[in-house]
């Protein structure tokens, strides 16, 4: 097999793992949420808490990933996580007990971290070790494909299947995705050298840079989670858009699928931080369009913008983290995701409570946009910190 074919096979393992752990195990909940509210008696506030518990699982997984240095252990936990992604999906259709659902969502969050952090870290390590470009745009296309695939599947399944049968159908799909996700990712090389014999040197950022970066990423996490969790329910309750929520969620996935590759190209020309600022500004617009401008087309455009930016920010941040720590990429990835994950716990819970108070999730989008504005401001601060750090290094 040629080096190019081997690279595509390894990246494909990551794509399938993201479709499985994030698309099936995690994001299928969003297009199925209205159906579960109609058929299974799931309340508005309970829906928000289930989403928050899912992100608590993701945060727990990020904490674990940030503490593990052994590539062998990361590889083992990644593979266990892929199996648990299927189990957590199956459990959702086996019960109507809120506690059982909460446990399932927590485990699904853990498996998301296994794919996003452990799997991504293993792939980044493999790329750097084989002297290949350390960009993750193609890999992260799996998230957009997972979102679009889940939305499309629910639209296809709904006329024939109830909410429970759809969870079982997603479980069967997950079993198919499991095979390449496990078989195509090679076992990790623990030598600490690239294939050309060079030592893999870590170049950590300054403590101040890391703190500001984590704060900005927290804001990005809040802005992301409110939209991605509640957009289907929000659109379904907008005037004239009843039943269009899954179509809008599909648009998020379509926007997200090529986004990371696009943002890799943008970052090469503008620099990582400038690309992040641009993505943040466009994401704010994407969050607000569905509620500021009435109509399906504005909701679709907002969703395309949102899908095309939120995952681009994740890809850029995790790629930067991997380049700072090439010998153990998941270490900084885990720390950054702890910040992102904390916002993901707070966002759905706050939005759920606001929704229960006002009978609508719309206010949550305005809060998410305000937090994103703060995040964009922090990215400008980060540029100043980067210049300061460069001057300090030059003066030594």
Q: Which two tokens stand for residue 306?
A: 């949102």
The reported pLDDT for the residue numbered 233 is 75
Within a domain: residue 192? no
Q: What range defines the domain where residue 83 resides?
A: 3-186+202-395
The reported pLDDT for the residue numbered 360 is 66
Q: Split the chain (396 residues) into runs of 10 and give each run's mean pLDDT.
A: 82 95 90 90 85 86 85 94 97 93 96 92 86 76 86 89 95 96 88 64 86 94 82 78 79 84 90 95 91 84 90 88 78 82 79 74 81 95 91 79
Residues 6+ apart with CB under 8 A from 123: 10, 11, 13, 14, 136, 139, 185
* Matching residue, tokens 């079993």: 175
The reported pLDDT for the residue numbered 354 is 76
d(CA 133, CA 322): 12
Within a domain: residue 125? yes
How many domains does the chain contain in total?
1
The reported pLDDT for the residue numbered 1 is 67
- Which residues are registered as beta bridge partners of 193? 199
Question: Are 97 and 117 a contacting pair, CB within 8 Å?
Answer: no
Within a domain: residue 376? yes
- The domain that contains 52 carries what CATH number? 1.20.1250.20
Within a domain: residue 196? no
Within a domain: residue 193? no
Report how far Cα 121 is from the mean position of its chain's Cα atoms: 14
Q: Is this prediction's pTM over 0.85?
A: no
d(CA 147, CA 33): 14
């Amino acid at each position: 097999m040629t080096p190019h074919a081997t690279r595509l096979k390894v990246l494909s393992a990551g794509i399938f793992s993201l479709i499985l752990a994030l698309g099936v195990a995690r994001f299928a909940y969003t297009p199925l949420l209205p159906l579960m509210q109609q058929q299974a008696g799931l309340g508005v506030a309970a829906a928000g808490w289930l989403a928050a518990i899912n992100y608590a699982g993701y945060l727990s997984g990020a904490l674990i990933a940030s503490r593990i240095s052994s590539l062998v252990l990361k590889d083992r936990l990644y593979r266990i996580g892929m199996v648990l992604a299927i189990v957590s999906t199956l459990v959702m259709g086996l019960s109507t007990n809120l506690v059982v659902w909460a446990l399932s969502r927590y485990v699904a969050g853990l498996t998301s971290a296994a794919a996003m952090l452990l799997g991504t870290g293993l792939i980044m390590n493999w790329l750097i070790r084989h002297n290949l470009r350390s960009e993750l745009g193609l890999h992260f296309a799996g998230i957009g494909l997972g979102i679009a695939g889940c939305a499309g599947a629910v639209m296809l399944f709904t006329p024939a299947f109830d909410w429970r049968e759809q969870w079982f159908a997603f479980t069967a799909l997950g079993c198919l995705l499991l095979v390449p996700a496990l078989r195509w990712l090679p076992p990790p090389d623990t030598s600490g050298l690239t294939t050309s014999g060079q030592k893999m040197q870590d170049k950590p950022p300054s403590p101040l840079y890391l703190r500001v970066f984590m704060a900005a990423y927290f804001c990005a996490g809040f802005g992301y989670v409110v939209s991605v969790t509640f957009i289907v329910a929000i659109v379904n309750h907008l005037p004239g858009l009843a039943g269009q929520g899954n179509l809008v969620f599909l648009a998020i996935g379509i926007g997200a699928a090529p986004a990371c590759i696009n943002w890799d190209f943008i970052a090469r020309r503008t620099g990582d931080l400038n690309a992040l600022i641009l993505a943040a500004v466009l994401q704010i617009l994407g969050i607000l369009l569905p509620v500021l401008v009435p109509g399906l087309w504005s909701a679709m455009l907002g969703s395309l913008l949102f899908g095309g930016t939120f995952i681009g920010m994740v890809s850029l941040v995790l790629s930067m983290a991997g380049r700072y720590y090439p010998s153990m990429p998941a270490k900084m990835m885990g720390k950054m995701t702890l910040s992102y994950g904390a916002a993901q716990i707070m966002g759905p819970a706050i939005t759920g409570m606001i929704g229960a108070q006002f009978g609508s999730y719309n206010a949550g989008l305005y809060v998410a946009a305000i937090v994103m504005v703060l995040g964009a401001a922090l990215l400008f601060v980060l540029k100043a910190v980067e210049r300061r750090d460069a001057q300090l290094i030059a003066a030594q």
